[in-house]
């Protein structure tokens, strides 16, 4: 998928932070860990560091993201896998999402979410094959909200932050991803027809990336397209084949990638990585699913594929290929052996074991 490798060639071991967080994270992250272990000598020997974060932790301790976790990731880990975090729909005093905080603290400015279907016959191109590259640190997710009382009662306001710096580097990431894909197209997602200042800055900055002196000529083979965000959602369902790499501000990218998961059957299939220039953290796109937590029916595939994406980003494509091929074969097998989100009757453990056997 992509190989934005860090300096890993001489590494004898791979220290992986494991943060299950909430709900089914405690079931799918062990599956991803076991997939890494199954690779044997294809990657440096994995060493795992168990770390804490999440809403459940907050309810017990008053702290959603301990400083010890941040320090361990910064000083002791080469990469990480994050499970899923519960997000209360109502404001909880003192609580803020640990995954949002980690993205900012570790400067993981890109959330890269490939969405691909599995062809019935190996070697055939998939019907759906796109990638959402989502800016990960700004937009409304800066969480600068205020509540005041005005003439008509309560008035809630939120600050939306779009900067040239963040837009430029997410644009570069999108073009880098496009270079590694056959279609080589970047579609800029925006709403600058209404939000002419914020989305206007995002659009113009990303469009200007190929003209930057430091990348002169590098992206000449990449085609640039644009879509207004609401039109993009419509066309995503009607004609997903027109998209290759979609680059978007934080909120739009979050919505688009979750919507795109419907095209391949389940959020339980869609992986992602949170990537910066010095660190990468795999994270399945799905949530904590408290209604099925502990029932051994959560789909482990998104977490396992996130481990593969993490390996690609670190520069270990062979190990990533082995994981992805094993997952593809399981998905081509007996549909009833899959987890309930895909219409099957399989368990988390059974699907994981089937993948490990093929790895």
For tokens 């272990």, the residue is: 37
User: Which among 78, 129, 191, 324 is annotated as catalytic?
Assistant: 191
Give the Å distances, CA to CA, from 278 to 51, 74, 75. 19, 10, 12
Rounded to whole angstroms, how far apart are CA atoms 359 and 354? 9
Give the Å distances, CA to CA, from 269 to 25, 238, 262, 285, 343. 14, 21, 10, 8, 13
Among residues 308, 307, 299, 305, which one has the least CA distance to residue 338?
299
- 191 flagged as catalytic: yes
- 258 flagged as catalytic: yes
Q: List the 13-21 sheet strands across, edge first.
A: 45-50, 13-21, 79-84, 280-282, 273-275, 110-116, 129-135, 245-248, 185-190, 223-228
- 141 flagged as catalytic: yes
- 78 flagged as catalytic: no
Give the Å distances, CA to CA, from 99 to 20, 111, 112, 250, 260. 11, 12, 15, 13, 21
- 56 flagged as catalytic: no
Q: How many other β-carbons are positioned within 10 Å of the β-carbon of residue 297?
A: 21
User: Which among 34, 107, 258, 321 is annotated as catalytic?
Assistant: 258
User: Which among 78, 109, 141, 328 is annotated as catalytic?
Assistant: 141
Contact 285, 263 (CB under 8 A): no
User: Which among 50, 76, 143, 230 is annotated as catalytic?
Assistant: 230
User: Which among 22, 78, 254, 328 is annotated as catalytic?
Assistant: 254
Active site amino acids: 141, 191, 230, 254, 258
């Amino acid at each position: 998928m992509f190989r934005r490798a860090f300096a890993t060639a001489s590494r004898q071991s791979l220290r992986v932070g494991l943060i299950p967080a909430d709900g089914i994270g405690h079931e799918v992250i062990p599956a991803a860990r076991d997939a890494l272990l199954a690779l044997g000598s294809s990657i440096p020997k994995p060493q795992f560091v168990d770390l804490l974060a999440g809403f459940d932790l907050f309810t017990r301790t008053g702290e959603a993201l301990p400083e010890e976790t941040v320090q361990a990731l910064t000083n002791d880990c080469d990469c990480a896998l994050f499970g899923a975090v519960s997000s209360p729909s109502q404001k909880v005093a003192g609580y803020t999402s640990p995954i949002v905080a980690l993205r900012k603290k570790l400067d993981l400015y890109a959330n890269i979410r490939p969405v691909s279907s599995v062809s019935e016959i190996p070697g055939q191109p998939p019907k759906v094959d796109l990638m959402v590259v989502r800016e990960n640190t700004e937009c409304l997710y800066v969480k600068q909200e205020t509540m005041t009382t005005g003439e008509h009662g309560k008035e809630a306001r939120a600050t939306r932050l779009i900067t040239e710096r963040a837009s430029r580097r997410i644009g570069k990431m999108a073009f880098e991803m496009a270079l590694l894909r056959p279609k080589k197209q970047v579609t800029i997602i925006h709403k600058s027809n209404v939000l002419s200042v914020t989305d206007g800055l995002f659009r113009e900055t990303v469009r200007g990336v190929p003209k930057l002196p430091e990348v002169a000529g590098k992206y000449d083979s990449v085609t640039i397209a644009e879509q207004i965000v609401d039109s993009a959602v419509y066309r995503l369902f009607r004609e997903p084949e027109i998209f290759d790499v979609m680059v978007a501000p934080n909120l739009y990218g979050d919505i688009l990638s979750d919507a795109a998961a419907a095209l391949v059957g389940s959020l339980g299939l869609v992986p992602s990585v949170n990537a910066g220039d010095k660190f990468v953290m795999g994270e399945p796109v799905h949530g904590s699913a408290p209604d099925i937590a502990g029932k051994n029916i959560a789909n482990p595939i998104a977490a396992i594929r996130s481990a593969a994406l993490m390996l690609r980003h670190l520069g270990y494509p062979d190990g990533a290929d082995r994981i992805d091929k094993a997952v593809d074969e399981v998905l081509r097998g007996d549909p009833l052996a899959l987890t309930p989100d895909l219409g099957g009757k399989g368990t988390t453990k059974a699907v994981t074991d089937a993948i490990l056997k093929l790895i």
